[in-house]
């Protein structure tokens, strides 16, 4: 975890936030750019080693230069989306699909032994696509080169989100909040709350959920298995939301507010409400750039269900390159499709649901979401063995 290092706070966050506060409007984007580039190079070197990590910065530089070609309705915007997807595919999914379709392994020529993941590639790729699509639609202004560099190199959100929109970020970059004491008080509080959640809860639960492998599942008492899955469900929520808390708090030190990412998703009473409050910046991105382009809700009901399932399959693959993530996305896609079908068959609800009905809806949603985490935290054969062991014995 990058956010738990003194280097992050003492070398990058605090100096850059102070410099940003004292700088003029024209200089602020370059402060974000310089510190963001240094952050990317430093942590890429620590994770990837050698010049390989630093070379990954060329991806961001190329995207920034290429984005200058974007205009409303321009084919360059389409090319920008294609190249962003290709870069993500090569780095993150090449070996997955090579193994899937060619049964390739590390000894095969088609298998790329040098594959590695540039720091934060899943997050900044979605921001690249957002900018290209919104420039094509005319929904985003070109802005200056410095502003766009600052947008993609703003390091508090680079590795863990939230996924930003340029229309929201650039005005705050140019006119950040001027209330230093309040921003720093709330920013530091948010960072500390994220660190406490990470170390006091998520890492403690990791000691319980870290043994979810085939051998441990085979030897465990069946009655323990649901508690393992529940512990993982709590752990991943606390972990993800802790990263978001630290990122949001870090941005607040600059006087910049970035989108919230989690809003008590486990308290929601249906799967659609869960996704409106879980990883909210990702959910909105998937709706705007996958679900709606597929036709959204403007098509026939069967097509709507297909669009929902495809959107969640994209979400699953975005989280990881593996069949288990595909299964996790399919699980959520089917739940969302069934929820839409149920609403369609039920028709408009005249009377508000009873308290007992709300409790049952919450319990069903909570259980089904946590069942899905088995696909997320284990490879597909292990997760299927987990369910066989849990339900059959």
Catalytic residue numbers read 319
243/359 Cα distance (integer angstroms): 30
- Which structure tokens are listed for 171? 């005005």
- CA–CA separation, 140 and 151 (whole Å): 13
203-222: b (≥16 Cβ within 10 Å) or e: bebeebbeebeeeebeebee
Phi/psi at 148 (5° precision): -70, -40
Q: Output the CA angle 127-131-134, nearest 5 degrees.
A: 135
Could you write out the DSSP letters of every residue in 90-109?
A: IIIIHHHHHHHHH---TTST
Residues 242/197, Cβ–Cβ less than 8 Å: yes
Neighbours of 301 (CB within 10 A): 12
What is the spatial distance between Cα 105 and Cα 157, in angstroms, rounded to a whole number? 34
* 277, containing H or E segment: helix 271-277
């Amino acid at each position: 975890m990058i956010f738990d290092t003194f280097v992050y706070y003492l070398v990058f966050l605090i100096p850059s936030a102070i410099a940003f506060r004292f700088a003029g409007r024209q200089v602020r984007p370059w402060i974000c750019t310089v510190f963001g580039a240094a952050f990317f190079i430093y942590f890429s070197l620590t994770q990837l080693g050698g010049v390989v990590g630093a070379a990954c910065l060329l991806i961001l530089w190329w995207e920034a230069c290429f984005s200058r070609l974007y205009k409303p309705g321009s084919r360059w915007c389409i090319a920008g989306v294609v190249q962003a997807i290709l870069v993500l595919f090569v780095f993150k999914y090449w070996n997955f699909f090579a193994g899937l379709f060619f049964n390739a392994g590390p000894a095969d020529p088609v298998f790329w032994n040098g594959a590695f993941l540039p720091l934060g590639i899943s997050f900044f790729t979605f921001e690249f696509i957002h900018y290209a699509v919104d420039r094509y639609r005319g929904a985003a202004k070109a802005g200056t080169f410095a502003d766009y560099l600052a947008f993609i190199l703003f390091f508090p959100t680079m590795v863990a989100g939230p996924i930003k929109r340029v229309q929201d970020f650039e005005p705050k970059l140019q006119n950040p909040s001027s209330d230093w004491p309040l921003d720093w008080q709330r920013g530091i509080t948010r960072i500390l709350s994220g660190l406490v959640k990470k170390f006091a809860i998520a890492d403690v639960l990791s000691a319980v959920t870290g043994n979810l492998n085939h051998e441990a599942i085979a030897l465990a008492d069946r009655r323990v298995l649901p508690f393992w899955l529940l512990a993982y469900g709590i752990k991943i929520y606390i972990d993800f939301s802790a990263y978001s808390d630290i990122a949001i708090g870090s941005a607040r030190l600059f006087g910049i507010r970035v989108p919230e990412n989690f809003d008590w998703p486990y308290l929601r009473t249906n799967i659609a409400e869960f996704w409106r409050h879980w990883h909210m910046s990702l959910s909105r991105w998937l709706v705007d750039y996958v679900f709606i382009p597929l036709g959204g809700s403007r098509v026939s009901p069967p097509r709507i269900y297909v669009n929902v399932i495809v959107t969640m399959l994209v979400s699953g693959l975005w989280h990881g390159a593996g069949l288990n993530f595909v299964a996790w996305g399919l699980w959520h896609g089917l739940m969302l499709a069934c929820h839409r079908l149920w609403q369609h068959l039920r028709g408009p609800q005249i009377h508000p649901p009873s308290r007992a009905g709300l409790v049952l809806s919450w319990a069903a949603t909570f259980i089904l979401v946590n069942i899905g985490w088995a696909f997320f935290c284990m490879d597909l054969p292990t997760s299927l063995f987990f369910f066989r062991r849990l339900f059959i014995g």
